């Protein structure tokens, strides 16, 4: 069975509920998850896992937890040098990263995280419209992850105007302010693979069958089970 470390917790989201739902969906694909909000310890234990999933919002910057509330007792977090190196070694050795929804906001003082995920939230520029109805456009033929998935509707957030890596190829997008914003892509990092799936604010999206397909296929692609 594929071993997944699911890092969770943080600001303004029901991470306990969504992480439990993610774990259940991945279990249906033979991916066994260990859920933890101790991100530092998790990153230092990656030798025991095949894939690390980040469903969290943990930043070094202050003020967000006070403004929005947190599901973590210690939402402020910056990976230690040892944790950063451990994740890079994991990827360089062929490991996998599945980055979900708020992941580009995490680890805001670590620029290398942008290369891993493919995008980084830039405070003062990046944004999203209020949580609400949105149309997801699937870019047909863009990637094996999206095979068999048609455009669909969810209640979620459109993360917009992030700082993107130049090699990002959108698999799904959603239109906001006359711009198609990428919300799913896949890429290689060293010998490893990473996928970012940007929708997934709450259980309403988790219950959507198209989302479930994209999540499962994304996870399988990262670990080399789908090509």
Q: How wide is the angle at C-alpha 121 spanned by C-alphas 107 and 208, nearest 5°?
A: 100
The pLDDT tens digits of the residues spanning 123-146 come to 888 999 999 999 999 999 999 999
Position 22 in a domain: yes
pLDDT at 67: 55
Please give the helix or strand (H or E) that residue 86 lies within, else none: helix 81-92
Residue 122, in any domain of the structure: yes
In a domain, 204, yes or no: yes
* pLDDT at residue 119, as a whole number: 98
pLDDT of residue 77: 87
Residue 118 falls inside a structural domain? yes
In a domain, 150, yes or no: yes
pLDDT digits (tens, 9 = 90+) for 30-44: 999 999 999 999 999
pLDDT value at 28 more than 60: yes
Q: Does any domain span residue 227? A: no
Q: Is 120 contained in some domain?
A: yes
Give the residue with greater pLDDT, 122 vs 72. 122
pLDDT score of 206: 97
Containing structural domain, residue 95: 2-222
Q: What angle do CA 27, 29, 30 make, to 5 degrees?
A: 65
User: What's the mean pLDDT when you consider all of the chain?
Assistant: 93
- What does pTM read for this prediction? 0.95
The share of the chain scoring above pLDDT 70, in percent, equals 93
Q: Count up the domains in the chain and report the number.
A: 1
Strand-pair category, 2-10 with 163-164: unpaired
The pLDDT of 68-76, averaged and rounded, is 59
CATH number at residue 104: 3.40.50.880
Confidence of residue 68 (pLDDT cuts 50, 70, 90): low
Q: Say yes or no to pLDDT of 21 above 70.
A: yes
Count other C-beta atoms under 10 Å from residue 148's C-beta: 9
When pLDDT is averaged across residues 190-210 and rounded to a whole number, the result is 97
């Amino acid at each position: 069975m594929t071993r997944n470390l699911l890092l969770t917790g943080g600001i303004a989201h029901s991470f306990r509920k969504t992480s439990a739902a993610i774990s259940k969906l991945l279990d249906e694909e033979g991916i066994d998850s260990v859920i933890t909000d101790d991100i530092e310890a998790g990153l230092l234990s990656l030798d025991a896992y095949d894939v690390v999933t980040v469903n969290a919002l943990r930043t070094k910057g202050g003020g967000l937890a006070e403004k929005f509330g947190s599901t973590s007792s210690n939402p402020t977090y910056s990976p230690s040098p040892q944790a950063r190196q451990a994740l890079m070694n994991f990827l360089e050795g062929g490991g996998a990263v599945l980055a979900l929804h708020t992941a580009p906001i995490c680890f805001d003082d670590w620029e290398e995280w942008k290369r891993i995920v493919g995008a980084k939230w830039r405070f003062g520029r990046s944004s999203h419209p209020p949580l609400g109805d949105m149309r997801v456009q699937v870019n047909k033929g863009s990637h094996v992850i999206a095979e068999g998935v048609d455009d669909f509707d969810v209640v979620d957030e459109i993360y917009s105007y992030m700082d993107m890596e130049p090699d990002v190829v959108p698999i799904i997008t959603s239109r906001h302010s006359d711009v198609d914003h990428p919300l799913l892509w896949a890429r290689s990092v060293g010998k490893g693979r990473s996928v970012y799936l940007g929708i997934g604010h709450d259980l309403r999206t988790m219950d959507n069958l198209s989302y479930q397909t994209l999540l499962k296929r994304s996870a399988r692609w990262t670990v080399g089970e789908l090509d």
